[in-house]
Protein backbone atom coordinates (compact mmCIF):
# COMPACT_ATOMS: atom_id res chain seq x y z
CA UNK A 1 0.00 0.00 0.00
CA UNK A 2 1.29 3.45 -0.96
CA UNK A 3 1.79 5.94 1.82
CA UNK A 4 -0.79 8.77 2.02
CA UNK A 5 0.97 11.84 0.58
CA UNK A 6 -2.06 14.18 0.84
CA UNK A 7 -1.40 15.43 4.38
CA UNK A 8 2.19 16.45 3.66
CA UNK A 9 1.26 18.31 0.48
CA UNK A 10 -1.67 19.96 2.21
CA UNK A 11 0.60 21.14 5.01
CA UNK A 12 3.14 22.56 2.59
CA UNK A 13 0.51 24.41 0.57
CA UNK A 14 -1.11 25.64 3.79
CA UNK A 15 2.14 27.02 5.17
CA UNK A 16 3.15 28.73 1.94
CA UNK A 17 -0.25 30.37 1.40
CA UNK A 18 -0.59 31.43 5.05
CA UNK A 19 2.90 32.89 5.28
CA UNK A 20 2.50 34.76 1.97
CA UNK A 21 -0.81 36.20 3.18
CA UNK A 22 0.78 37.27 6.47
CA UNK A 23 3.61 38.94 4.61
CA UNK A 24 1.23 40.74 2.30
CA UNK A 25 -0.87 42.12 5.19
CA UNK A 26 2.22 43.05 7.21
CA UNK A 27 3.73 44.93 4.26
CA UNK A 28 0.47 46.76 3.63
CA UNK A 29 0.36 47.76 7.28
CA UNK A 30 3.96 48.82 7.26
CA UNK A 31 3.59 50.93 4.13
CA UNK A 32 0.27 52.60 4.91
CA UNK A 33 0.56 52.84 8.68
CA UNK A 34 3.67 54.97 8.56
CA UNK A 35 1.93 58.21 7.67
CA UNK A 36 -0.47 57.78 10.64
CA UNK A 37 2.42 57.24 13.00
CA UNK A 38 4.42 60.18 11.70
CA UNK A 39 1.36 62.34 12.35
CA UNK A 40 0.79 60.76 15.77
CA UNK A 41 4.36 61.48 16.83
CA UNK A 42 4.22 65.09 15.68
CA UNK A 43 6.45 64.56 12.64
CA UNK A 44 9.13 62.59 14.54
CA UNK A 45 9.93 60.23 11.67
CA UNK A 46 12.61 58.27 13.51
CA UNK A 47 10.23 57.36 16.33
CA UNK A 48 7.40 56.63 13.87
CA UNK A 49 9.58 54.26 11.83
CA UNK A 50 10.76 52.51 14.97
CA UNK A 51 7.21 51.97 16.32
CA UNK A 52 6.04 50.93 12.86
CA UNK A 53 8.75 48.31 12.65
CA UNK A 54 8.03 47.00 16.15
CA UNK A 55 4.31 46.71 15.36
CA UNK A 56 5.07 44.72 12.21
CA UNK A 57 7.42 42.40 14.12
CA UNK A 58 4.65 41.71 16.66
CA UNK A 59 2.23 41.13 13.80
CA UNK A 60 4.55 38.56 12.20
CA UNK A 61 5.20 36.76 15.48
CA UNK A 62 1.54 36.39 16.38
CA UNK A 63 0.39 35.38 12.92
CA UNK A 64 3.14 32.94 12.10
CA UNK A 65 2.79 31.53 15.60
CA UNK A 66 -0.89 30.95 14.97
CA UNK A 67 -0.24 29.44 11.55
CA UNK A 68 2.27 27.01 13.08
CA UNK A 69 -0.04 26.00 15.93
CA UNK A 70 -3.02 25.50 13.64
CA UNK A 71 -1.12 23.30 11.21
CA UNK A 72 -1.84 19.88 12.62
CA UNK A 73 -5.14 18.25 11.73
CA UNK A 74 -7.01 15.28 13.15
CA UNK A 75 -8.82 14.56 9.88
CA UNK A 76 -6.10 13.58 7.45
CA UNK A 77 -6.96 14.25 3.79
CA UNK A 78 -7.02 11.14 1.63
CA UNK A 79 -7.75 12.63 -1.79
CA UNK A 80 -7.89 15.99 -3.59
CA UNK A 81 -11.39 16.75 -2.34
CA UNK A 82 -10.59 16.31 1.37
CA UNK A 83 -7.29 18.16 0.88
CA UNK A 84 -9.08 21.19 -0.57
CA UNK A 85 -11.64 21.09 2.24
CA UNK A 86 -8.89 21.02 4.83
CA UNK A 87 -6.93 23.85 3.17
CA UNK A 88 -10.01 26.00 2.84
CA UNK A 89 -10.97 25.70 6.50
CA UNK A 90 -7.39 26.19 7.74
CA UNK A 91 -6.73 29.19 5.47
CA UNK A 92 -10.15 30.62 6.29
CA UNK A 93 -9.19 30.66 9.98
CA UNK A 94 -5.82 32.24 9.19
CA UNK A 95 -7.59 34.94 7.19
CA UNK A 96 -9.94 35.65 10.07
CA UNK A 97 -7.02 35.90 12.51
CA UNK A 98 -5.18 38.18 10.08
CA UNK A 99 -8.30 40.31 9.72
CA UNK A 100 -8.64 40.57 13.49
CA UNK A 101 -4.99 41.48 13.91
CA UNK A 102 -5.21 44.01 11.12
CA UNK A 103 -8.23 45.57 12.78
CA UNK A 104 -6.37 45.74 16.12
CA UNK A 105 -3.48 47.48 14.42
CA UNK A 106 -5.82 50.00 12.86
CA UNK A 107 -7.25 50.71 16.32
CA UNK A 108 -3.74 51.22 17.70
CA UNK A 109 -2.88 53.60 14.86
CA UNK A 110 -6.03 55.65 15.18
CA UNK A 111 -5.78 55.78 19.01
CA UNK A 112 -2.21 57.02 18.81
CA UNK A 113 -3.15 59.61 16.27
CA UNK A 114 -6.26 60.81 18.11
CA UNK A 115 -4.30 61.08 21.34
CA UNK A 116 -1.63 63.12 19.62
CA UNK A 117 -4.21 65.50 18.22
CA UNK A 118 -6.03 65.80 21.54
CA UNK A 119 -3.00 66.42 23.68
CA UNK A 120 -2.29 69.67 21.92
CA UNK A 121 -5.85 70.81 21.24
CA UNK A 122 -6.96 74.10 22.84
CA UNK A 123 -10.19 74.21 24.91
CA UNK A 124 -13.23 73.71 22.67
CA UNK A 125 -14.97 76.81 24.05
CA UNK A 126 -13.72 80.41 24.12
CA UNK A 127 -13.21 82.21 27.45
CA UNK A 128 -15.92 84.69 28.41
CA UNK A 129 -13.53 87.18 29.98
CA UNK A 130 -9.88 87.85 30.62
CA UNK A 131 -8.49 89.09 33.90
CA UNK A 132 -5.00 90.04 35.00
CA UNK A 133 -3.52 87.27 37.18
CA UNK A 134 -1.29 87.58 40.22
CA UNK A 135 1.40 85.01 40.80
CA UNK B 1 -2.11 77.01 29.18
CA UNK B 2 -0.35 75.32 32.08
CA UNK B 3 -2.93 75.12 34.85
CA UNK B 4 -6.56 75.84 35.65
CA UNK B 5 -8.13 77.03 38.87
CA UNK B 6 -11.68 75.86 39.47
CA UNK B 7 -13.86 77.99 41.75
CA UNK B 8 -16.69 75.81 43.03
CA UNK B 9 -19.43 76.23 45.59
CA UNK B 10 -18.19 74.54 48.77
CA UNK B 11 -21.59 74.99 50.41
CA UNK B 12 -23.20 72.61 47.92
CA UNK B 13 -22.91 68.86 48.43
CA UNK B 14 -23.11 68.01 44.75
CA UNK B 15 -20.34 70.50 43.97
CA UNK B 16 -18.13 69.18 46.78
CA UNK B 17 -18.61 65.63 45.51
CA UNK B 18 -17.77 66.79 41.98
CA UNK B 19 -14.63 68.42 43.37
CA UNK B 20 -13.29 65.13 44.70
CA UNK B 21 -14.27 63.35 41.52
CA UNK B 22 -12.30 65.93 39.48
CA UNK B 23 -9.31 65.60 41.77
CA UNK B 24 -9.34 61.83 41.41
CA UNK B 25 -9.20 61.91 37.61
CA UNK B 26 -6.02 61.91 35.57
CA UNK B 27 -5.51 65.47 34.39
CA UNK B 28 -3.85 66.65 31.20
CA UNK B 29 -3.91 70.22 32.48
CA UNK B 30 -3.53 70.34 36.30
CA UNK B 31 -6.65 71.52 38.09
CA UNK B 32 -6.60 73.40 41.35
CA UNK B 33 -9.88 73.39 43.23
CA UNK B 34 -10.72 76.47 45.31
CA UNK B 35 -13.88 77.17 47.26
CA UNK B 36 -15.54 80.21 45.67
CA UNK B 37 -15.69 83.13 48.07
CA UNK B 38 -12.88 81.70 50.23
CA UNK B 39 -10.12 84.03 51.42
CA UNK B 40 -7.66 82.49 48.96
CA UNK B 41 -10.07 82.86 46.05
CA UNK B 42 -10.71 86.54 46.98
CA UNK B 43 -7.00 87.23 47.32
CA UNK B 44 -6.18 85.74 43.95
CA UNK B 45 -9.13 86.92 41.96
CA UNK B 46 -10.48 90.08 43.60
CA UNK B 47 -12.42 91.00 40.48
CA UNK B 48 -14.23 87.67 40.46
CA UNK B 49 -15.15 87.71 44.16
CA UNK B 50 -18.85 87.22 44.50
CA UNK B 51 -20.72 86.66 47.72
CA UNK B 52 -22.89 83.92 46.25
CA UNK B 53 -21.11 81.79 43.65
CA UNK B 54 -24.04 81.08 41.39
CA UNK B 55 -22.05 79.33 38.70
CA UNK B 56 -18.87 77.35 38.30
CA UNK B 57 -15.90 79.52 37.31
CA UNK B 58 -12.64 78.29 35.81
CA UNK B 59 -9.64 80.61 35.49
CA UNK B 60 -6.56 79.67 33.51
CA UNK B 61 -3.03 80.63 34.53
CA UNK B 62 -3.18 83.14 31.66
CA UNK B 63 -6.26 84.83 33.08
CA UNK B 64 -8.89 83.39 30.77
CA UNK B 65 -12.21 83.14 32.60
CA UNK B 66 -14.78 80.48 31.75
CA UNK B 67 -18.20 80.55 33.40
CA UNK B 68 -21.16 78.20 33.71
CA UNK B 69 -21.46 75.67 30.87
CA UNK B 70 -18.14 76.74 29.37
CA UNK B 71 -16.45 76.14 32.72
CA UNK B 72 -17.94 72.62 32.88
CA UNK B 73 -16.68 71.86 29.39
CA UNK B 74 -13.20 73.20 30.20
CA UNK B 75 -13.09 70.96 33.31
CA UNK B 76 -13.82 67.93 31.11
CA UNK B 77 -11.26 69.15 28.59
CA UNK B 78 -8.59 69.14 31.31
CA UNK B 79 -9.22 65.45 32.07
CA UNK B 80 -7.42 62.74 30.19
CA UNK B 81 -10.41 60.43 29.94
CA UNK B 82 -12.99 63.08 29.11
CA UNK B 83 -11.24 65.41 26.66
CA UNK B 84 -13.03 63.57 23.87
CA UNK B 85 -16.37 64.40 25.51
CA UNK B 86 -15.51 68.07 25.90
CA UNK B 87 -15.23 68.37 22.11
CA UNK B 88 -18.54 66.64 21.64
CA UNK B 89 -20.30 68.76 24.22
CA UNK B 90 -18.88 71.95 22.72
CA UNK B 91 -20.17 71.11 19.23
CA UNK B 92 -23.04 73.33 18.03
CA UNK B 93 -25.49 70.42 18.12
CA UNK B 94 -24.96 69.72 21.82
CA UNK B 95 -23.85 73.02 23.36
CA UNK B 96 -27.40 74.44 23.80
CA UNK B 97 -28.46 71.23 25.54
CA UNK B 98 -25.38 71.28 27.75
CA UNK B 99 -26.27 74.88 28.60
CA UNK B 100 -29.80 73.85 29.57
CA UNK B 101 -28.58 70.90 31.59
CA UNK B 102 -25.97 72.96 33.44
CA UNK B 103 -28.54 75.65 34.23
CA UNK B 104 -31.02 73.03 35.38
CA UNK B 105 -28.46 71.37 37.65
CA UNK B 106 -26.98 74.61 38.95
CA UNK B 107 -30.31 76.09 39.95
CA UNK B 108 -31.32 72.88 41.74
CA UNK B 109 -27.96 71.94 43.16
CA UNK B 110 -28.89 72.47 46.81
CA UNK B 111 -32.15 70.56 46.47
CA UNK B 112 -30.42 67.75 44.55
CA UNK B 113 -27.64 67.56 47.14
CA UNK B 114 -30.23 67.13 49.88
CA UNK B 115 -32.13 64.53 47.89
CA UNK B 116 -28.95 62.56 47.20
CA UNK B 117 -27.69 63.12 50.78
CA UNK B 118 -24.45 64.67 49.56
CA UNK B 119 -22.90 66.76 52.32
CA UNK B 120 -20.99 69.92 51.36
CA UNK B 121 -17.45 70.42 52.68
CA UNK B 122 -18.47 73.63 54.41
CA UNK B 123 -21.20 71.86 56.38
CA UNK B 124 -18.89 69.03 57.46
CA UNK B 125 -16.27 71.56 58.53
CA UNK B 126 -18.88 73.45 60.56
CA UNK B 127 -20.12 70.22 62.15
CA UNK B 128 -16.56 69.23 63.08
CA UNK B 129 -15.93 72.66 64.56
CA UNK B 130 -19.17 72.55 66.51
CA UNK B 131 -18.43 69.09 67.90
CA UNK B 132 -14.85 70.06 68.71
CA UNK B 133 -13.95 66.84 66.98
CA UNK B 134 -10.56 67.87 65.71
CA UNK B 135 -7.84 67.11 68.20
CA UNK B 136 -5.46 69.97 67.46
CA UNK B 137 -5.41 72.94 69.80
CA UNK B 138 -5.62 75.33 66.89
CA UNK B 139 -8.90 73.86 65.74
CA UNK B 140 -10.45 73.93 69.24
CA UNK B 141 -9.34 77.52 69.75
CA UNK B 142 -11.09 78.55 66.57
CA UNK B 143 -14.24 76.77 67.75
CA UNK B 144 -14.16 78.71 71.04
CA UNK B 145 -13.67 81.95 69.21
CA UNK B 146 -16.68 81.36 67.04
CA UNK B 147 -18.99 80.80 69.97
- Residue at A125 is within a domain: no
Closest-CA distance, A124 to chain B, in angstroms, reads 6
Query: For residues B33 and B17, what is the distance between their CA atoms, to the nearest angstrom?
Result: 12
Q: Is residue B143 part of a domain?
A: no
Q: Is residue A31 part of a domain?
A: yes
The span from the CA of A66 to the CA of A60, in Å, is 10
Does residue B56 sit within a domain? yes
Q: How far apart are CA B27 and CA B31, in angstroms?
A: 7
**Whether the Cβ atoms of residue B82 and residue B76 lie closer than 8 Å to each other:** yes
Q: Judging by beta carbons within 10 Å of its beta carbon (0-12, 13-18, 19+), is residue B11 exposed, middle or buried?
A: buried
Which one has a higher pLDDT value, B33 or A115? B33
What pLDDT does A39 receive? Answer: 84
Number of independent structural domains in chain A = 1
In a domain, B121, yes or no: no
Residue A21 included in any domain: yes
**pLDDT tens sequence across B16-73:** 889 999 999 999 999 999 888 888 888 888 887 665 567 889 999 998 999 889 999 9
Given a cut of 90, whether residue B144 has pLDDT beyond it is: no
Band of pLDDT at residue B134, cut at 50, 70 and 90: low
pLDDT at A120: 81
**pLDDT band at residue B4, thresholds of 50, 70 and 90?**
very high
Does a structural domain hold residue B76?
Answer: yes
**Structural domain total, chain B:** 1
Q: Does position A121 have pLDDT exceeding 50, yes or no?
A: yes
pLDDT at A119: 79
Q: Which residues of B touch A116 (CB under 8 A)?
A: none
What angle in degrees, to the nearest 10, is found between the helix axes of A45-69 and A6-40?
160
Q: Do the domain assignments include residue B58?
A: yes
A72 touches chain B (CB under 8 A): no
Residue in A with minimal Cα distance to B95: A125
Smallest Cβ–Cβ distance between B44 and the set A114, A125, A134 belongs to A134
**Pairing, β B31-35 against β B4-8:** parallel
| C-alpha of A96 from chain center | 11
Nearest Cα of chain A lies from the Cα of B7 at a distance, in angstroms, of: 15
Taking CA atoms, B29 is separated from A44, B25, B84, B133, in Å, by 23, 11, 14, 36
- The 10s digit of each residue's pLDDT in A37-49 is 888 888 889 999 9
Contact status, residue A127 vs residue B4, Cβ threshold 8 Å: no
Contact B73 A132 (CB under 8 A): no
Per the structure, the complete domain to which residue A95 belongs is given by: 6-119
pLDDT, averaged across chain A:
88
Whole-complex ipTM: 0.71
Mean pLDDT across B115-135: 79
Instruction: Indicate whether B28 belongs to any domain.
Output: yes
Distance from C-alpha of B54 to C-alpha of B106, rounded to nearest angstrom: 8
Residue A129 lies in a domain: no
pLDDT in the model for residue B142: 46
pLDDT tens, A43-84? 889 999 999 999 999 999 999 999 999 888 888 889 899 999
Helix axis angle for A80-119 and B83-90, nearest 10°, is 70
Residue B146, pLDDT score? 39
Q: Which residues of A touch B95 (CB under 8 A)?
A: 125
pLDDT at B84: 87
Q: Is A135 within 8 Å of chain B by CB? A: no
Residue B62 lies in a domain: yes
* Residue B143: per-residue pLDDT: 40
* Structural domain boundaries, residue B105: 4-115
A135, part of any domain: no
- Counting other chains too, the contacts that A49-55 makes at CB distance below 8 Å and 24 or more residues apart are A55/A29, A55/A105, A55/A108
> Which residue does chain A place closest to B4, by CA atoms?
A123
Instruction: List CB contacts of A117: < 8 A, sequence separation 6 or more.
Output: none
Amino acid sequence: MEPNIWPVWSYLVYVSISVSLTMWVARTLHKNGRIFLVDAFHGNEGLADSVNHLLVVGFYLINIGYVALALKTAHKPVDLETAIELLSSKIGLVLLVLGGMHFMNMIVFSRLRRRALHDVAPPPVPPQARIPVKA
Amino acid sequence: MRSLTVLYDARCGLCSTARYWLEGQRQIVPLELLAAGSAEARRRYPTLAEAEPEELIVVSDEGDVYRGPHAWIVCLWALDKYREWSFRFAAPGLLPRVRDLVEWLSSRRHRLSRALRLRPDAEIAAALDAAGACGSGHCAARGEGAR
